């Protein structure tokens, strides 16, 4: 699998930029740049959400449901350039309109193609 773009950006550089932009509150801008049109995202064992449009709606719904966002932190990052895979461990602390206060760790496993995420699965405790 290809891990670089036409500008020869490494996968690690793309993952670091994606994470930085998320931490800076540029969630949707990062989504538009780093997620492929055919992306599949999945929360734990839930049914996967297929396609960029459906995942965009899911993300916007989540963001609009936050009533207080206290913090996010990248705890660790692993990048496998050869297999176009990255894993990011996150810590989140926020209040959601329907779920209440949430403080938890989450691991995001991302599979990349041509500089964009084509599959992402989130693992976290319930």
- Residue 5: pLDDT band with limits 50, 70, 90: very low
Which structural domain, as residue segments, surrounds residue 103?
11-124
- Measured CA to CA, the distance from residue 31 to residue 45 in angstroms comes to 22
Across 2-16, 68-82, 107-121, least confident range? 2-16
In a domain, residue 35? The reply is: yes
Cα 35–Cα 38–Cα 42 angle in degrees, nearest 5? 75
- pLDDT tens digits, one per residue of 18-53: 999 999 999 999 999 999 999 999 999 999 999 999
User: How many structural domains compose the chain?
Assistant: 1
In a domain, residue 97? The reply is: yes
> Given a cut of 90, is residue 1 above it in pLDDT?
no
CATH number of the domain where residue 26 is located: 3.10.450.50
In a domain, residue 99? The reply is: yes
Percent of the chain at pLDDT above 70? 94
The two tokens of residue 35 are 């997620």
């Amino acid at each position: 699998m290809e891990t670089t773009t036409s500008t020869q950006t490494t996968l690690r550089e793309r993952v670091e930029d994606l994470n930085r932009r998320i931490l800076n509150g540029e969630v949707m801008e990062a989504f538009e740049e780093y997620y492929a049109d055919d992306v599949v995202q999945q929360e734990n064992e839930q049914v996967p959400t297929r396609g960029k449009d459906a995942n965009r709606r899911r993300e916007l719904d989540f963001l609009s449901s936050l009533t207080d966002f206290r913090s996010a932190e990248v705890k660790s990052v692993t990048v496998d350039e050869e297999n176009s895979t990255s894993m990011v461990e996150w810590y989140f602390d926020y209040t959601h309109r329907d779920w209440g206060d949430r403080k938890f760790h989450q691991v995001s496993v991302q599979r990349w193609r041509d500089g964009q995420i084509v599959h992402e699965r989130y693992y976290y405790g319930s």
